[in-house]
Structure 1
Amino acid sequence: MKITCLLVEDEKLAREELEYLIGKSDDFKVSFTASNSQQALEIINQAEIEVVFLDINIPGISGIELAKEINQKEAAPLIVFTTAFDDYAIEAFKLSAVDYLLKPISEARLEQSLQKIKKQLKQKINYNQKLANLLANFPEQKNNKQENLLNKIAVVEKNYYLMLNFTDIYYFSTQDKKVWAHCQKKSYMTQFQLKELEEILPGQFFRIHKSYIVNLKHIKAVIPWFKGKYQVLMADYSGHKIPVSRSKVEKINKLLNLK
């Protein structure tokens, strides 16, 4: 699969030139483009982006400020700054940018940057895999943690807290910065973030997407989607379909004995 890129550039010719150069690579694909910071944020919030090529001088908030917002997100994409000025280099690397490209960008210089990106993405994948392997070697500790849980979670119901059994929850989702617990026929607002829930939920729950945690025991079907990805059909009343992030496909194959 190709590495998905977003180009944020307000100058049409510069955007098209960079898109052309990146498109010559076998490993990268420009899936989205934006001409201002607002468009870029909307795309990043809705799609899975691995790399953002970000011009610093764009309409709306600057590329530097946009990068700060991007870095606050879970599973934030890598950032490569593109600019005609070198005044921001120090600030760019403070934000952990992968690279800093000065315009006009040559094909050779871009190729160096693409190699850096591939190396960082590979290191990230290897780290996640090593962590998963490490955790898999400690089943007793994991079980002890689960045995000590209350096996309930407090959700908001009118003017009181309702205690829901974990077994009654089909999935959690996030919307408008709020996290909801979805049961067979009803949904409840929680006071948690998905990252917090990952730490307290028992083993049958899995973070399948940046916006969803599902109860594996309440998956009704797995539906093949485009480019080797999946959707899972939940067994709740509405039959909700949830996308599986590309990075989670291999793990889901193992957890559900698909391959």
Structure 2
Amino acid sequence: MIKTMIVEDEKLAREELKYLINKEDDFKVVFEAGDGQKALDILNKHQLDLLFLDIKIPGINGMEIARILKEKENSPYIIFTTAYDEYAVEAFQLAAVDYLLKPISDQRFKESLEKIKKEMGQSSNFNQQLENLFASINSQNRDRSLNKIAVMEKDYYLMLDFKDIYYFSTREKKVWAHCYKKSYMTGFQLKELEKMLPDQFFRIHKSYIVNLKQIKAVIPWFKGKYQVLMEDYSEHKIPVSRSKVEKINKLLNRFGPKKPK
């Protein structure tokens, strides 16, 4: 039995989590806490397996609790629950197993519990945990309206706002997200991004997805083709595939000059 504590200041949210957890045969809620200090008092007296930990709670917040637990041996696994995605990177650096955004769907909740059982059944390194966590949060982007994507930056993952991304491109079998001055490697293929990106992004070419809101100009090219000029620092020019010309005209509400009679 996986002994679980819910740390959540809203009573209705605690009750909902408790109901969902206790429906699972392998989990049992043994403690509840509505503030950080009470949670720490319980953790100092009892050995638990799992915490469902809200971030914004009275007193000692969820992040501070996680930092304290990280320094202890045999600390419980943590699943953060929050209505805000701004703490994602820090939460993952604290080795949380998962990060659930409210309102929590039944499917995501079940996936999180399965992840916990898998983590308890086998050891995994920290980098793999990070990759799994960001894969989870990226998979929620469209449905959750997070409008963010995790990209790789040196030795950590950075959460990029979609609005700050000008275009995606493929280079050496890797997909890069290009912002105003800087580019970041992603862990996706373009066909995967097409499914998760909002409607302002369009697959303009086999090697490019562009943010339509960041196009500066559409330039006639040769043989009826076009290029788009982006608003980024280098004003990058991207070719429009012949098969996409008609669609890009409609999307940009641009129509070519009429032929003279």
TM-score by length of 2: 0.46
**TM-score normalised by structure 1 residue count:** 0.47
Bigger Cα Rg: 2
